[in-house]
């Protein structure tokens, strides 16, 4: 039976990955800071799909907690076949006025934590000759968008390289790059629904984002941009001058 470990699994895209992977028969290891929220997701998934669910509360910015998750990923006796790096948070886009320690934590969660978890995963996956890593990035990784875009750009670039390097050995790596998606992510930043300044047609449904991301990962694609409209926008962004895409990147939070 396949086991999938998902970070940031207590809500939003993480919880949706849990539901859709469980629907495919995968057992789960759910990671997030909030034990109570994790237990709620776990109970719902167990009742609905009948899979085994392990709850692993951890703050990936705490070295001790992070090391426990790394050890679970690396445990060859309890193999993790699918790793979903989803945990994250957002900051205001004004880097110069943000608290630098907040920026360092932001970098740690979006880059260092997935780097460590991927490093732990590749060893046993390559030894078995199969495995799948899904990094939840963003279309922000294709445009200048403060440190959030930079972090997601790193995930995209690394996923492309890793998929090419290790895909032939049976271990694929996919960066899933959604646009604006209806989850609790923006509300946690203090922005109620409707206050993003983003037109309705640009919003995606979390279920569709995860479904397309999982399909692309199963096909071995290095980069998945859910929805035709965002694929077109990403293509257009590659043709425009940086000063224009930077202005576009200032929209929303």
CA distance 105 to 14: 20
Query: Please, is 152 exposed, middle or buried when counting C-beta atoms within 10 Å of its C-beta (0-12, 13-18, 19+)?
Result: buried
Helices (H) and strands (E) in the chain, counts: 10, 9
Let me know the angle formed at the C-alpha of 167 by 165 and 171, rounded to the nearest 5 degrees. 115
Is 122 considered catalytic here?
no
Residue with token string 């469980």: 22
**Are the CB atoms for 212 and 41 separated by under 8 Å?**
no
Instruction: Report which secondary-structure segment, H or E, holds 172.
Output: strand 171-176
In this structure, what token pair is assigned to residue 102? 């907040």
* Euclidean distance between CA atoms 177 and 153, whole angstroms: 10
Q: Which of 122, 148, 166, 230 is catalytic?
A: 148
List all residues 6 or more positions away from 201 whose beta carbon is below 8 Å from its beta carbon: 229
> Which residues form the catalytic set?
148
């Amino acid at each position: 039976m396949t086991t999938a470990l998902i970070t940031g699994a207590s809500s939003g895209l993480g919880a949706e990955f849990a539901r859709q992977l469980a629907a495919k028969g995968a057992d789960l290891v759910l990671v997030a800071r909030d034990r109570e929220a994790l237990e709620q997701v776990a109970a719902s998934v167990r009742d609905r799909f009948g899979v085994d669910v392990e709850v692993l509360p951890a703050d990936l910015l705490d070295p001790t907690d992070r090391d426990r998750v790394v050890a679970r990923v690396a445990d060859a006796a309890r193999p993790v076949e699918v790793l979903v790096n989803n945990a994250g948070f957002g900051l205001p886009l004004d880097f110069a006025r943000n608290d630098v320690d907040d920026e360092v934590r932001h970098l740690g969660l979006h880059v260092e934590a997935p780097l460590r978890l991927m490093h732990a995963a590749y060893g046993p996956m390559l030894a078995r000759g199969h495995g799948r890593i899904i990094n939840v990035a963003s279309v922000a990784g294709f445009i200048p968008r403060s440190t959030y875009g930079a972090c997601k750009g790193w995930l995209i670039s690394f996923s492309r390289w890793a998929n090419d390097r290790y895909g032939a050995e049976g271990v694929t790596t996919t960066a899933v790059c959604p646009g604006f998606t209806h989850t609790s992510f923006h509300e946690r930043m203090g922005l109620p629904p409707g206050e993003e300044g983003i037109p309705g047609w640009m919003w995606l449904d979390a279920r569709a984002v995860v479904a397309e991301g999982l399909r692309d990962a199963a096909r071995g694609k290095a980069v998945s941009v859910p929805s035709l409209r965002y694929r077109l926008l990403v293509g257009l962004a590659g043709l425009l001058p940086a000063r224009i895409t930077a202005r576009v990147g200032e929209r929303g939070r």
